[in-house]
């Protein structure tokens, strides 16, 4: 849904910006394929979990293609590589004496004859008191706990109240890593997130339950009977297994080279609801098993629509597919880039603000600049560019540093600041064109009009380069018209010179209230 796309789109922009700056960047992701949500959904649909995973993965790939999210590899945590790596990491921790055995008080459903781990039970959070929370962590406050700690628990399958029952579980001795984690997180987390995680450390960490009783959709723990890895042990291992899968396909001599020591800078982009797992459990597992650590974990907030949590009844719980059926996908990329920053604050998709931003910034400032300048050249001046005048050259020269700064902002997760740089350049070029009025000058001096238009088109070319990480498809079409390559940020320095441009074609249309109303209404009808 659109909330998931907050993560995927900003990650894609980040990757494109760093590649544009000349860095070697690989972009990996995997479908989280284990755990109780998968099992519950498969149970509802009457299919096997593996089939559900493959259906979802196929849908993800289609949505990613529509929204321009281009992974080097999109794998699955239900893979041979992930099974092998999860087992080897577990064995390394076990060899270090960091796997403990303890009897735990769990919840057992007599009706369904099974233990109720994680999302198989819902109840009241023992930390903040929020109702209808999962059995392993609270979506509201982010706390983790045991299912037995829930208030007013109920089985997610039948709704009955479960009974307490003990079972032997395996634990990872997380407290051993408190000092190492405190040292690692300096610089790896945003300041506000760091302070949040530091509070957890100051409270003291507890051994982490890494096992679940069968039946459970996941990997069986080697050497154990009817015990499975908890999903949050094998899910992050998917970062390594996906890189291994890709490297093997690429014929790399060492398929794990990207995760060895300081061989690469590793960045995770995650939602704030899974900070605990990524900032404590995951790095401690890596420390204990000898793998390289993440250098940065960038945490983002949730998405609200019109200031409220997404709602099916209000028609604001919008999937990627529903958006693609009604509106251009790159419009969402542009809007997110205008509103995202490097903090973990929630993002509000306000439809009125969305419409004003797309119409006012993308269409009026960027596309209209290209349309006016290129369209006039096409119609009146045989599509031929000339050399800009001194004022036009100064404007183009000033943009070189400004638009490089935009790229640097994108590569630092400061998306809205990067967009300010780009839109300021577009606004300046529009003012230049308006003041110089080449359509009026043309009547007396066509060549003088060509000079003015060439300055404006020079900025259009620069904007095309700068916006490529944001709206890549639109920029590819515009680049073909102007006749430039988008391979590098260095293209900002390349003068257009005297060349012929192609015929301008419409690149973007204004958003109407009717389009947004149709999107919401279609979602409301589907939900009902």
Q: Is the pLDDT assigned to residue 23 strictly greater than 80?
A: yes
Classify residue 517: in a domain, yes or no.
no
Number of H helices, E strands in the chain: 19, 16
Residues 128 and 205 in one domain: no
Q: Is the pLDDT assigned to residue 312 strictly greater than 80?
A: no
42-46, 175-179, 508-512: least confident range: 42-46
Show which of 301, 331, 363 is a domain's final residue: 301
Q: Is 514 helix (H, G, I), strand (E, B) or coil?
A: helix
CATH code, 269: 3.40.50.620
Residues 182 and 278 in one domain: yes
Instruction: Specify the number of domains making up the chain.
Output: 3
What is the pLDDT confidence band of residue 147, given thresholds at 50, 70 and 90? Answer: confident
Q: Is the pLDDT assigned to residue 527 strictly greater than 80?
A: no
Mean pLDDT score across all residues of the chain: 95
CB 144 within 8 A of CB 117: no
Residues 91 and 233 in one domain: yes
What is the pLDDT confidence band of residue 475, given thresholds at 50, 70 and 90? Answer: very high
* Tokens matching residue 15: 């990757």
* Residues of the domain holding 108: 104-169
Q: Percent of the chain having pLDDT more than 90? A: 86
Residues 81 and 229 in one domain: yes
The predicted-structure confidence for 157-183, as pLDDT tens digits, reads as follows 899 999 999 999 999 999 999 999 999
Q: Is 127 helix (H, G, I), strand (E, B) or coil?
A: coil
Classify residue 293: in a domain, yes or no.
yes
Classify residue 8: in a domain, yes or no.
no
Range 122-133 average pLDDT: 95
CATH code, 113: 2.170.220.10
Q: Hunting for tokens 């987390």 — which residue is that?
A: 189
Q: What is the pLDDT of residue 195?
A: 95
CB 464 within 8 A of CB 399: no
Residues 40 and 113 in one domain: no
Q: Hunting for tokens 């790939």 — which residue is that?
A: 61
CB proximity list for 398: less than 8 A, separation 6 or greater:
none
Range 486-512 average pLDDT: 95
The predicted-structure confidence for 231-250, as pLDDT tens digits, reads as follows 999 999 999 999 999 999 99
Classify residue 10: in a domain, yes or no.
no
Residues 145 and 291 in one domain: no
The predicted-structure confidence for 374-399, as pLDDT tens digits, reads as follows 999 999 999 999 999 999 999 999 99
pTM of the model: 0.92
Classify residue 89: in a domain, yes or no.
yes
The predicted-structure confidence for 315-353, as pLDDT tens digits, reads as follows 888 999 999 999 999 999 999 999 999 999 999 999 999
Classify residue 479: in a domain, yes or no.
yes
Task: Give the closest residue to 226 by CA, choosing from 217, 214, 234.
Answer: 214
Residues 148 and 224 in one domain: no
Show which of 234, 267, 301 is a domain's final residue: 301
How far apart CA 201 and CA 185 sit, in angstroms, is 11
* C-alpha 326, offset from chain centre: 22
Q: What is the pLDDT of residue 117?
A: 81
Residues 201 and 162 in one domain: no
The predicted-structure confidence for 64-119, as pLDDT tens digits, reads as follows 999 999 999 999 999 999 999 999 999 999 999 999 999 998 899 999 888 888 78
Q: What is the pLDDT of residue 139?
A: 85
CB proximity list for 220: less than 8 A, separation 6 or greater:
227, 228, 229
Residues 242 and 265 in one domain: yes
Residues 193 and 130 in one domain: no
Classify residue 502: in a domain, yes or no.
no
| Rounded alpha-carbon distances, angstroms, from residue 169 to 101, 103, 191, 235 | 6, 6, 35, 19
Classify residue 528: in a domain, yes or no.
no
Q: Is 464 helix (H, G, I), strand (E, B) or coil?
A: helix
Residue with the bigger pLDDT between 123 and 44: it is: 123
Residues 55 and 182 in one domain: yes
Q: What is the pLDDT of residue 40?
A: 83
CATH code, 365: 1.10.730.10
* Tokens matching residue 497: 């010179």
CB 398 within 8 A of CB 455: no
| Rounded alpha-carbon distances, angstroms, from residue 31 to 16, 75, 332, 512 | 22, 6, 22, 35
The predicted-structure confidence for 184-228, as pLDDT tens digits, reads as follows 999 999 999 999 999 999 999 999 999 999 888 999 999 999 999
Q: Is 121 helix (H, G, I), strand (E, B) or coil?
A: strand
| Rounded alpha-carbon distances, angstroms, from residue 168 to 97, 103, 504 | 17, 4, 69
Residues 488 and 367 in one domain: yes
Q: Is the pLDDT assigned to residue 313 strictly greater than 80?
A: no
How far apart CA 366 and CA 465 sit, in angstroms, is 12
């Amino acid at each position: 849904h659109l909330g998931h796309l907050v993560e995927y789109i900003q990650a894609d922009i980040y990757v494109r910006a760093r590649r544009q700056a000349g860095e070697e960047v690989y972009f990996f992701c995997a479908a989280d394929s284990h755990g109780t949500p998968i099992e519950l959904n498969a149970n509802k649909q009457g299919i096997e979990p593996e089939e559900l995973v493959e259906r979802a993965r196929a849908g993800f790939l289609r949505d990613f293609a529509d929204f321009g999210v281009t992974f080097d590899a999109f794998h699955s945590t239900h893979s041979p590589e992930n099974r092998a790596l999860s087992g080897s990491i577990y064995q390394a921790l076990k060899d270090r004496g960091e796997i403990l055995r303890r009897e735990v008080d769990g919840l057992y459903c007599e009706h369904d004859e099974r233990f109720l781990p994680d999302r198989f039970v819902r109840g009241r959070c023992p930390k903040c008191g929020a109702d209808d929370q999962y059995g392993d962590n609270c979506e509201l406050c982010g706390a983790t706990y045991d299912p037995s700690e829930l208030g007013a628990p109920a089985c997610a399958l039948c709704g009955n109240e479960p009974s307490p029952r003990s079972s032997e579980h395996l634990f990872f001795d997380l407290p051993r890593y408190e000092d190492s984690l405190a040292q690692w997180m300096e610089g790896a987390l945003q300041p506000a997130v760091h302070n949040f995680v530091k509070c957890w450390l100051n409270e003291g960490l507890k051994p982490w339950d890494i096992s679940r009783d069968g039946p459970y959709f996941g990997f069986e723990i080697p050497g154990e009977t009817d015990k499975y890895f908890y999903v949050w042990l094998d899910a992050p291992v998917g970062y390594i297994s996906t890189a291994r899968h890709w490297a093997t396909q690429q014929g790399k001599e060492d398929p794990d080279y990207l995760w060895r020591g300081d061989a690469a800078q590793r960045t995770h982009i995650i939602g704030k609801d899974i900070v605990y797992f990524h900032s404590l459990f995951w790095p401690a597992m890596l420390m204990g098993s000898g793998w390289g650590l993440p250098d940065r974990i960038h945490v983002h907030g949730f998405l609200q629509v019109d200031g409220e949590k997404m709602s099916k009844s209000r028609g604001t719980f919008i999937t990627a597919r529903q958006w693609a059926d009604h509106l251009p996908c790159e419009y969402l990329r542009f809007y997110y880039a205008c509103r995202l920053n490097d903090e973990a604050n929630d993002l509000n998709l306000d439809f009125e603000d969305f419409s004003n931003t797309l119409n006012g910034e993308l269409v009026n400032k960027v596309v209209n600049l290209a349309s006016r300048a290129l369209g006039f050249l096409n119609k009146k001046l045989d599509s031929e560019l000339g050399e800009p005048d001194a004022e036009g050259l100064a404007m183009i020269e000033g943009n070189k540093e400004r638009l490089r700064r935009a790229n640097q902002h994108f590569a630092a997760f400061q998306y809205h600041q990067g967009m300010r740089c780009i839109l300021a350049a577009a606004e300046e070029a529009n003012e230049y064109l308006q003041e110089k009025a080449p359509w009026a000058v043309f009547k007396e001096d066509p060549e003088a009009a060509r000079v003015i238009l060439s300055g404006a088109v020079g900025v259009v070319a620069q904007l095309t380069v700068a916006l490529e990480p944001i709206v890549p498809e639109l920029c590819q079409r515009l680049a073909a018209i102007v006749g430039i390559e988008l391979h590098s940020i260095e293209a900002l320095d390349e003068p257009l010179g005297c060349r012929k441009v192609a015929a301008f074609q419409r690149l973007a249309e204004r958003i109407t209230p009717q389009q947004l109303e149709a999107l919401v209404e279609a979602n409301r009808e589907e939900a009902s």
